[in-house]
Amino acid sequence: MSSLTYADAGVDIDKANALVDNIKKIAKQTRRQGVMGDIGGFGGLFSLNLSDLKNPVLVSSTDGVGTKLKIAFMAGRHDTVGIDLVAMCVNDIAVQGAKPLFFLDYMAVGKLNTEIATQVITGIGEGCKQAKCALIGGETAEMPGFYKDNEYDLAGFTVGIVESDAIIDGSNIHVGDAIIGIASSGLHSNGFSLVRKICFDVLKLKIDDHIDDLGKTLAEELLTPTIIYSETVHSLLKLFPIHGIAHITGGGLAENVVRVLPQACVATIRKGSWDVPPVFSFLQKAGKVEDREMTRTFNNGIGLVVVVPAKKADDAMASIRAVGEKPFLIGEITPRKADEPQVQLV
């Protein structure tokens, strides 16, 4: 028997090294003040400039893209899920007032396809540019036999920073505050197990089918990337007191807004007060999904909720429009009765 190599076992080190060269080029496009060194070291280096902060607090988040990746595999399109990956992490720290500093990714594959991996990491780079954070490192793990050909899993990790007395934790929310919803771009990165059940098991659709109700192909709709809200949040923070922010991910409005509410408050949200993208009515009708299930599975058109003093609501909405996002006045904070649910859609 001839001498065996790691490549014979399914791990191609030369391919991995070529991918690192591609990643270095992408990472350079996201470089910001504080980054030290280049991709390829054992750890990513970032120098903190704390001269403008009295009591800095680091805020971190890690997340993935979930089964939305299955849609990318089916469509053979991998350039948007990296944006989703960044969005799911940086949006979660933005709601606490933190500005993202840097990002790292983990990509696991069965057999490395350099073209696919480069597409994914190009998307990650684009997400980092949108969030104004640096891609400073990551890991691409080749694990033969663990994943199907041309399939992979993703995880992301971000660290941000905020002044201690500027942390947004919902404790300043009080009765009378206005609730502003900022539009999502569609499904974002949640509910895709149900989406796939409806589209492929119930409707028997193919990924490239054109859907008249949506005005586009199924792949185009389902792979629309998650909006990155971190810069929108920080533009608002410079102008207005923000009492609370919720990133509307899995669990929808009901299970995410409650995470920032004081016990004595109820978020009263008016159904019909915002534009619902057609993909949600399409899925609800096709899957005969009950209203309650829709509200606890999908964002239903609201990707971020911001709670502000009522007298600042109009100005805040004008500022949100000025940065290119779409706001809606969707409700208000009301007093809570004993054991009353804290989020009510009326």
The pLDDT tens digits of the residues spanning 310-344 come to 999 999 999 999 999 999 999 999 999 888 889 98
pLDDT single digits (tens) 147-184: 998 999 999 999 999 999 999 999 999 999 999 999 99
What pLDDT shows up at residue 52?
83
Q: Residue 6 pLDDT more than 70?
A: no
- For the domain that residue 156 is a member of, what is the CATH number? 3.30.1330.10
Calculate mean pLDDT across residues 243-271: 94
What are the backbone dihedrals phi and psi of residue 159, each rounded to the nearest 5 degrees, phi first?
-125, 135
Domain count, the chain: 2
Q: Residue 23 pLDDT more than 90?
A: no
What pLDDT shows up at residue 26?
84
| DSSP assignments along 19-52, one per residue | HHHHHHHHHHTT--TTEES-TTSSS-EE----TT
- For the domain that residue 237 is a member of, what is the CATH number? 3.90.650.10
Q: Residue 263 pLDDT more than 80?
A: yes
Residues with Cβ within 8 Å of 76's Cβ and at least 6 positions away in sequence, in order, are: 150
Q: Show the DSSP H helices in 48-137 as ranges.
A: 68-75, 81-94, 114-131
Domain range for 315: 178-345
In this structure, the answer to whether residues 316 and 188 fall within a common structural domain is yes
What pLDDT shows up at residue 275?
95
In this structure, the answer to whether residues 311 and 272 fall within a common structural domain is yes
What pLDDT shows up at residue 115?
93
> Is the pTM value of this prediction over 0.85?
yes
pLDDT band at 61 (very low <50, low <70, confident <90, very high): very high
Query: Among 166, 192, 218, which residue terminates a domain?
Result: 166
Query: Among 145, 166, 187, which residue terminates a domain?
Result: 166
